[in-house]
Amino acid sequence: MITSFAPLPLDAIEFLTRETGIDYGMIDFTTPHWLCVHARHDDGEVVGVLVCEFKTWFDVYCTYAITDPRCMTRRLLKAVFRTLFSRAVRITSEVEPDNEHAILIARRMGFVYEGYKRMGIEGKRDALLFGMLRHDCRFLPGVKPRPVPSPFPFGGATHGLVS
Coil/strand/helix, residue 160: coil
Helix (H, G, I), strand (E, B) or coil at 17: helix
Task: Output 32 or 132, whichever has higher pLDDT.
Answer: 132
Domains and CATH numbers, the chain: 2-136 (3.40.630.30)
pLDDT tens by residue, 28-50: 998 888 999 999 999 999 999 99
Where does residue 113 rank: exposed (0-12), middle (13-18), buried (19+ CB within 10 A)? buried
Closest CA to 78 of 2, 4, 141, 139: 139
pLDDT surpassing 90 at residue 120? no
pLDDT tens, 53-72? 999 889 999 998 999 988 88
pLDDT (mean) for 108-117? 90
139 closest CA partner among 88, 53, 74: 74
Q: Which helix (H) or strand (E) holds 84?
A: helix 74-85
